[in-house]
Amino acid sequence: MTASTLYEIPLTLIDGTETTFDRFRGKTVLVVNVASKCGFTPQYAGLEALYRRYKDEGFVVLGLPCNQFMGQEPGDEADIASFCELNFGVSFPLTEKVDVRGKHQHPLYAELTTFKSGPLPGLIKWNFEKFLVNSAGQVVDRFASTVEPESEQIVRAISRETAVVRAKTPE
End-to-end CA gap in the chain: 32
Catalytic residue among 38, 60, 120, 140: 38
Strands (E), 13-83: 18-20, 28-34, 59-65
User: How does strand 59-65 pair with strand 28-34?
Assistant: parallel
Cα–Cα distance for residue pair 112/125, rounded to 1 Å: 13
Bridge partners, 11 (sequence order) = 19
Is residue 84 annotated as a catalytic residue, yes or no?
Answer: no
Contact indicator for 80, 65 with CB cutoff of 8 Å: yes
Catalytic residue numbers read 38
